Structure 1
Amino acid sequence: MPEWPADLNVGELMASGWRPTPFQQFILKIHSRCDLACSYCYMYEMADTSWKRRPKRMPTEVVAAAAARIAEHTRTHGLSSVEVVLHGGEPLLAGTDAIRDIVTRVRAANGTRTRVDFTVQTNGTLLGPAYLRLFDELGIRVGVSLDGDRDMHDRNRRFAGGRGSHAAVTQALRLLTGAEYRHLFGGLLCTIDLRNDPIATYEALLAFDPPSIDFLLPHGNWSAPPPGRAADQELRPYGDWLTAVFDHWHRTRPRRTSVRMLTELINLLLGGESSTEQLGLSPAAMVVIETDGAIEQSDFLRSAYEGATDTGLTIFGNSLDEVLLLPGFAARQIGEQALSPACAACSVKSVCGGGLYAHRYREGQGFANPSVYCPDLLHLIGHVRKTIEADPPAGSEHHRRSEKGSTMKVAEHRISAGMFSAIATGGGGTAAISHLRDVQHSKHILLVRAVMAAARASDHPDAALTRRAYDLLATIQRHHPDVVDRVLRHPAAGAWARQTIIGVRGNDPSAAPAQLAGLAASAAILSGTVCDIDVPAVHGVVTLPGLGQASLSPTVTTATVQCHAHGAEVTGGHMVVTVPEDPHTDGPGWTGLRDLSATADGHAMRIVIDDLDPYRMPGVANLGGRLTSAEVRQWQTLLDDAWRILVHHHHEVAEEVAGAITVFTPLKPPARGQSSATSRETFGCIALSTPPDPTTMAVTLAHETQHAKLSALLDLVPMTKPDDGSRFYAPWRDDPRPVSGLLQGAYAYLGVTDFWRRQRRVETGESEVHAAAEFSRWRASAHAVTRTLLGSGRLTAPGEHFTSLMAERLEAWRDESVADAASALAMRRAERHLTAWNDRNR
């Protein structure tokens, strides 16, 4: 029987408030034999031999019982989606008919309430056209095991007679990666062999352009160490092997694939949560169902000792909830509490997580030990940490802890489940906006530091000036943190930094890292810091972000900003431009950014009109020019009236708008209607053409605030999987959209729907009818798109939760009264149109 943790009392855990995490992944062992005899196989070559006593193929009665138990579990816990992995042995030995029956039964048992995604993990030798047609029909993703080129792969992965399997696997991969079936490709799984060169292995896998690569450490433990990993020795051969892969992968731009272990490490080092049992402390939420119906722990544990996976429970007599309360499952869900004393005292425990549970085993001590790979993991984690601290990823979506010395301080950010859910339903209020603004501020600090690091690493001609500018900003931050906060929160600062990092790394001559001096000069002016700093000029124009521009001679390429306690001058080419005491006004040679402000019932908002900064809204082709004074007065009147609408009838939206939106960027007027946009690179900025009326401005503010909220949230929580080329219909565009665009649009539509839902209650006559029709139109489109998203298979687990909450909110609004039959008909037509389009183009 399994050696459960001796001191683990599940009853006491429950009494203390702990509750198990429901299973999200179900491993169905549909065939218990294999056509290969891999030398490192934990199933057939290690301690456990229970496979010999099980049926070869999962019988129909076991399939039916498994489907019922999975459905019971998803229903009990209200799970909107789960994953079922078809596994073995070699699962394709089960045959196409058996696989079709399994998939059909499991999905039928769960109905439309829970979406069941299927994946199959195969050695690839049997993967031919018949299977690929079946997987395409059933929507089954395919992962393939490949250990490198022919010599690397065939060293371990051979048929029983000794013949290598590489030729058969590569033939299958050519079929899978062709145009007809590539959308089914889930990625490659590679078991590390120290005899194989790490870079050559990685490049051999890249030859198939996989969406992801998962490197696995060979299974072993302290009593049966893996190859080259002698017990109790401090050698780190696997750490060195993976470090070499990391360095090669990390410096490749653009990266062609995701390497799961490495992306997980970066995610954990930057404050995220783990999504794999190999690393981190997140609860393990998977369970195995064997061919005879036995319910078992992760079959990785077979590498430890005979019976290590046994639970004594079966799907015929036990529910999966009973399994959740077994000590072995609880030990893999309670995180730090299950670590050995040595791991609990380790500084990287939240990243390493003690390593894979199976790798901790030592005969006589059970699993209360560090991983047998402890030296390797420590080395790899330390190397990755050092690398990303010196060179954080461009556009990093995570946030590092505060540093010491001449560097800018940056906070670490997480988001609570409650706040995440509140945002998903369209709201969140001022607390959520404040949190998201702080996240963006930290992101901008990281980007600014990355500009300095990129310039230094590339020996850019402006590297020294960039470093001086960074040091000045860090100094001002120590004495005037609010000023630096204000400067770095300006939306254009983030867009400039991200584009500059990309440009410097790509040797783009237009990249301008020295513009960091413009940010430092703005901070010095606002804080009254006495200093001189050189700043770049483009055609004689010096841009000081958040303040305005100084115009010098067109031949000037570098100017000097001289700051003193009561003002500043910009000098260059025998010209001097004095920055006005209020930089948001104009003066000789100086063009300032103008302000708008509005107040209603004691609630105020302030907006800066940025019609100058070259980075104010990247990627927008119809940017407008400098607004005239008359146009500014027109915008002020519209804002006054729109703000009153928001404060009087949409109070929470008004608070969110005031907190999130700080900058307007003018757009050229379209042929008809109004144009507006936001960018993930410029949180806090709305680009818009002059609105035709106050209500349009109010709804535009609500609409674009939703985009801003979601963009900022995505910097904390990834909600869509990497783009695999799938495209879907969106009611707001003629061209099909990737799932990321679909999610952005649906969330913005959720906010607009809520606006018209409230607005129709305060309107009368034709205005009321119009508001009701708008509510129905926007709700129908948003609801239909959430259904497409939930059926796309392209959302992460948080993305599934987020979209499900959106869908529930929109569904609840369906029951609210519709003003007339025409708008109800429009709602039904929109949903039918969307369904038909996606069916045709699936």
Structure 2
Amino acid sequence: MRPPIVPFRQFVLKVASRCDLACDHCYVYEHADTSWRGRPVVMSDETAVRAADRIAEHAAEHRIQTTHVVFHGGEPLLAGIERLRRFARTLRRAVEGVCDLDLRIHTNGVLLSRAFCDMFADEDVKVGVSIDGDRVANDRHRLYANGRSSYDQVIRAITLLRDHYPHLYAGLLCTIDVRNDPIAVYEALVALRPPRVDFLLPHATWDTPPLRPAGRDTAYADWLITVHDRWRADGRPVPVRMFESIILTASGGDSQTESLGLRPSDLVVIETDGSYEQADSLKTSFDGAPATGYDVFRHSLNEAAGHPGFAARQGGLDSLSEECRRCPLVASCGGGLYAHRYRTGSGFANPSVYCADLFRLISHLVAYERRRPATPVHRLPVATVDAMASGSVTSDDVALLRAPQLSRARLAARRAATVVADEESWSILVDAERADRAALDDLLSHPYVRAWAARCAAVDPASLTTPDTGHLAAVAAVAAVRTGLAVKVTVPVVQDFIHLPALGRMRAAGEDRADVEAHDGSFAVRVGGRWHSEDSGLWEPVRLVGGAGIRLLLDDVDPYRDCYGLPVEDRLSAETAAGWDEVVRAALDLLTDDQRAAMRDGLRVLTPLSASATGATGATSRAAYGAIALPLGAGPETAARLLAEHFHRAQLGALLDLLDLAGGDANHERLLCDAYGLLSVAALLGEEERARLTTTVGRISDAPLPAAGHRFAAKLAEAVTRLPLPAGSRPE
């Protein structure tokens, strides 16, 4: 029985089969395959229609949610503006109601103009550009046929995208030449502020091996390691697909590129004459290597997917050579790019010709990840920890805890972005950081942005939902609003709303997703074919509550506020919200000046718990530092007590993120937090609660804790013994 086919999700449409440059490292025109000579110069409208129909048919049969199509060449811009416009519309009409379409074009950039970009903006076509680094690196290969440099034209194209059409800017592709200075190449690429950089190993086989100056067996690994280490030292200013794929696969995730990892290939090329072909990279192997004998006029994509050439790239570990299967790094390497394994006589049943480079590179990155501290090192003075153990938290203590919490928030956001793999949204965050780092930090440390990031990092990436993965775009939109960037992003609709963290939500019933456009610190959302601003009746903003110099966000709309293990209330009516504001204002007035000063620095958000959460007395979450959930219906005195108790619990949680007080035992951590919260409101406790506090502290003191934990428990016990007796009680 034949195994089931792996459906195609990525389609490369060769809209033009000639090029206006004469790059000497081009795999299409300079390597073994010469099939381009007999193909039409451009794809015809008839071929485009048949290709679009085949793609829609395939997506419908396999229930594919998103189809990725890249216009390619040769140089695809040679097809012309109007032809490309027709092709884009043909594709969108074909898949309408079947699947989403992610449409891109990859170009050398020399013909890119405002007219092209205006059309791409109209048709929602993202643009990637090839450039090999600085002028020296780029002009080593990317020249016109007469030897003239293409560098200035490419820089002009990238600048046009970056400065005037940032929502179209998809990234840069750089082919490595180890004779180029790796740092000069890296700095030149980063200076162009791309949403993503792809480094490509030059196509080679065992028959035609890559250039290795002075016989260096790992010249390409050495070059890439130099770039990687500088990239990490710079704080990963742009996503680099090769590096992030290695990091992901080393921790059990999926690769983001076909050149690494064991994920089955799901890519097919459709040539200008409608022929189905395997990946272009095979053109470097031998003449006719990518051919299948199938085409869009006579064959379905299912038939093409059954071709042995595609099947050979979908077998995972079993399809690799014995040497690869024995390798401890095979999950990350995956045997390297299929084309790079070719050798006359044994075909593709070999390790990559870059095997030594890949082994060294992956080993280096894995070792780097293992020795890298999970968060930046932050130390608290012993006197501060001792003072906190006695039950008091000052604004100075909160200031010392906030810095490491911000570091954790930034790290969580970076990890979430790596899992989600939304390069466009991540690039907006990078630009926002450059524009106003403080504003971005404030957003990333919002409690429910952190709760979203924590979810992305905690679960199997395969189990993340579309709302989870799409939320990075919503975060990016808010970052753009806060820093004044001009961007347009698409965000998912979750239960009839699009959610913008810390801002609010817009009703979008009946839609699956909506466009958000940010400009000059404001935003608009396109719903039902119309743009709606913050003044729209569809918009439900996050409101403010509180007083006594403390203004807190009343967040009853964020989808990630449900992080307490208790049901939370949905959007409050204006009357209920006003009533809650009065309660919170009165509660804050009942607190001491020191308590209010600490909360002013360490509390940002209040969320109402649902009335169905019977018996709930408030809650905090380690994943949402800076937020407290309070029950609706509490009076000012109860609310004041719960605010104080849960604020202290949250500060101890922040301390536990820095200092191992419980030996990693979750139950001991819970006991510590319970006792610490009760200690903060000891003056308000009755005899029964006071007894519970004493019992809890005793259990902590008897627990097998690390030295720091024993010291903290001893200070807690001392504080409890110094408490005055409850009002109305008498000593025995």
Partner of 2:363 in structure 1? 382
- 2:88 alignment partner AA: V
Shift of 1:82: 0.8
The answer to whether structure 1 residue 242 and structure 2 residue 224 are counterparts is yes
Distance 1:239 1:536, change over 3 A: same
Q: Shift in Å at residue 780 of structure 1?
A: 9.8
What does residue range 196-207 of structure 1 map to in structure 2 within 5 Å?
196-207=180-191
Q: C-alpha offsets along residues 224-274 of structure 1, whole Å, 9 cap, x if unaligned?
A: 1122289xx871100100010010001113x32111101111111122111
Instruction: Extract unaligned runs of 5+ from structure 1.
Output: 1-10, 393-449, 451-497, 505-511, 516-534, 544-548, 558-610, 620-676, 684-705, 752-777, 793-829
Of 264-273 and 370-379, the range deviating more from structure 2 = 264-273
- Name the SS of the counterpart of 2:494 in structure 1: helix
Deviation, structure 1 residue 540: 5.8
Give me the whole-angstrom Cα distance separating, in 2, the residues matched to 1:214 and 1:114: 27
Amino acid paired to 1:236: T
Q: What is residue 348 of structure 2 aligned with on the other side?
A: 367
Deviations 1:188-237 (A, max 9, x none): 0000011101111010111211111100000000011122289xx87110
Residue of structure 2 equivalent to 1:90: 75
Letter in structure 2 aligned against 1:149: D
State the identity as a percent: 41
Instruction: Determine whether 1:351 maps to 2:332.
Output: yes
1:787 aligned residue (504, 513, 521): 513
Q: Kindly tell me: are residues 210 and 70 of structure 1, through their superposed partners in 2, closer, same or farther at Cα, counting changes over 3 Å?
A: same
Partner of 1:217: 201
**Counterpart among 314, 318, 336 of residue 317 in structure 2:** 336
Q: Is the 8 A contact 2:471 2:491 kept in 1?
A: no
Matched residue of 1:369: which SS? Answer: coil
Paired residues of 1:728 and 1:737 also in contact (CA < 8 A) = no
Structure 2 vs 1, CA of residues 40 and 612 (structure 1 numbering), >3 Å: closer, same or farther? Answer: closer
Where does 1:442-521 land on structure 2 (aligned, <5 Å)? 450=374, 498=375, 501=376, 504=377, 512-513=378-379, 515=380
How far off is 1:326 after superposition?
1.4
Q: Is the 8 A contact 1:280 1:349 kept in 2?
A: yes
Ranges in structure 2 where 5+ consecutive residues have no aligned partner? 407-445, 518-524, 537-732
Is the 8 Å Cα contact of residues 497 and 508 (structure 2) preserved in structure 1? yes
Residues of 1 paired with 2:152 and 2:454: CA distance?
50
Q: Distance in 2 between matches of 1:724 and 1:151?
A: 39
* Superposed CA offset, 1:486-529 (max 9, x none): xxxxxxxxxxxx5xx2xx5xxxxxxx43x5xxxxxxxxxxxxxx
Alignment equivalent of 2:234, drawn from 225, 234, 252: 252
Q: How does 1:696-735 map to 2 (within 5 A)?
A: 712-713=458-459, 719-720=469-470, 727=477
Once residues 252 and 241 of structure 1 are traced to their aligned partners in structure 2, the CA distance between those partners, rounded to angstroms, is: 17
Compute the displacement of 1:537 (Å).
Answer: 3.0
- 1:577-616 equivalences in 2 (<5 Å): none
User: CA 1:228/1:68 → structure 2, altered by over 3 Å: closer, same or farther?
Assistant: same
C-alpha displacement at 1:168, in angstroms? 1.1
SS of the residue 2:8 aligns to: coil
Aligned match for 1:538, one of 361, 378, 384? 384
CA positional deviation for 1:87 = 0.2
Trace 1:3-18 onto structure 2 (pairs within 5 A): 11-12=1-2, 14=3
1:137 counterpart = 2:122:
yes
- 1:728 is displaced (CA, Å) by 8.3
**Residue of structure 2 aligned with 1:325, choices 306, 313, 318:** 306
Letter aligned with residue 241 of structure 2 = R
Does residue 81 (structure 1) correspond to residue 66 (structure 2)? The answer is yes
Query: 1:175-324 alignment to 2 at 5 Å?
Result: 175-178=160-163, 180-228=164-212, 235-253=217-235, 255-324=236-305
CA–CA distance in structure 2, aligned partners of residues 390 and 741 of structure 1 = 37
The structure-2 alpha-carbon separation of the partners of 1:160 and 1:330, relative to structure 1 and needing over 3 Å to count, comes to same
CA 1:785–1:192: 2 relative to 1, 3 Å: same
Length-normalised TM-score, structure 1: 0.52
Shift of residue 787, structure 1, vs aligned partner: 2.5
Spell out the pairing of 1:81-120 with structure 2 (5 A cutoff).
81-120=66-105
**2:585 corresponding residue in structure 1:** none
Could you list the per-position Cα deviations for residues 785-815 of structure 1 after superposition, in whole angstroms to 9, with x for gaps in the alignment?
A: 64227x99xxxxxxxxxxxxxxxxxxxxxxx
SS of residue paired to 2:477: coil
C-alpha contact (below 8 Å) 2:496/2:511 kept by paired residues? no
Instruction: Give the SS at the match of 1:135.
Output: helix
d(CA) in 2 for partners of 1:748 and 1:618? 33
Return the alpha-carbon distance in structure 1 between the equivalents of residues 365 and 456 of structure 2.
29
Secondary structure, aligned partner of 2:282: helix
The match for 2:147 is: 162
Cα displacement string for residues 555-612 of structure 1 (whole angstroms, at most 9, x for unaligned residues)? x99xxxxxxxxxxxxxxxxxxxxxxxxxxxxxxxxxxxxxxxxxxxxxxxxxxxxx99
Residues 148 and 204, structure 1, Cα contact 8 Å, conserved in 2 = yes
1:23 match? 8
Partners of 1:305 and 1:177 in 2: CA distance: 38
Alignment counterpart, residue 494 of structure 2, candidates 746, 752, 755: 746
In structure 1, distance between residues paired with 2:297 and 2:234:
51
Relative to structure 2, which stretch is displaced further, 78-87 or 214-223?
78-87
CA contact (8 A) 1:92 1:127 kept: yes
User: Match of 1:375, SS?
Assistant: helix
Is 1:53 aligned to 2:38, yes or no? yes
**Which residue identity does 2:82 align to in structure 1?**
D
Separation in 1, partners of 2:62, 2:14: 24
Residue 837 (structure 1) aligned with residue 532 (structure 2): yes
Q: 1:32 to 1:725 in 2, by over 3 A?
A: farther
What RMSD over aligned residues (CA atoms) do the two structures have, in Å? 4.0
- Name 2:542's counterpart in structure 1: none
Distance 1:384 1:328 in 2: 32
TM-score, length-normalised on structure 2?
0.59
* Aligned partner letter, 1:280: G
Alignment partner of 2:261: what SS?
Answer: coil
Specify whether residues 72 and 840 from structure 1 end up closer, same or farther in structure 2 by C-alpha distance, changes over 3 A only: farther
Give the Cα separation in 1 of the matches to 2:529 and 2:7.
Answer: 33
Structure 1 residues 38 and 338, CA, compared in 2 at 3 Å: closer, same or farther? same
Going from structure 1 to structure 2, the CA distance change for 1:105 and 1:216 (only over 3 Å counts) comes to same
Distance in 2, matches of 1:329 and 1:118, equals 23
| Alignment check: 8 A CA contact 2:473 2:490 kept | no
CA contact (8 A) 2:167 2:489 kept: no
The question of whether the paired residues in 2 share the 8 Å contact of 1:726 and 1:738 is answered with no
Q: Give runs of aligned pairs for residues 376-455 of structure 1, distance below 5 A.
A: 376-392=357-373, 450=374
TM-aligned CA deviation for residue 333 of structure 1: 1.4
Distance in 1 between residues matched to 2:506 and 2:157, nearest whole Å: 43
Change beyond 3 A, Cα 1:721–1:29: farther
What corresponds to 1:122 in structure 2?
A: 107
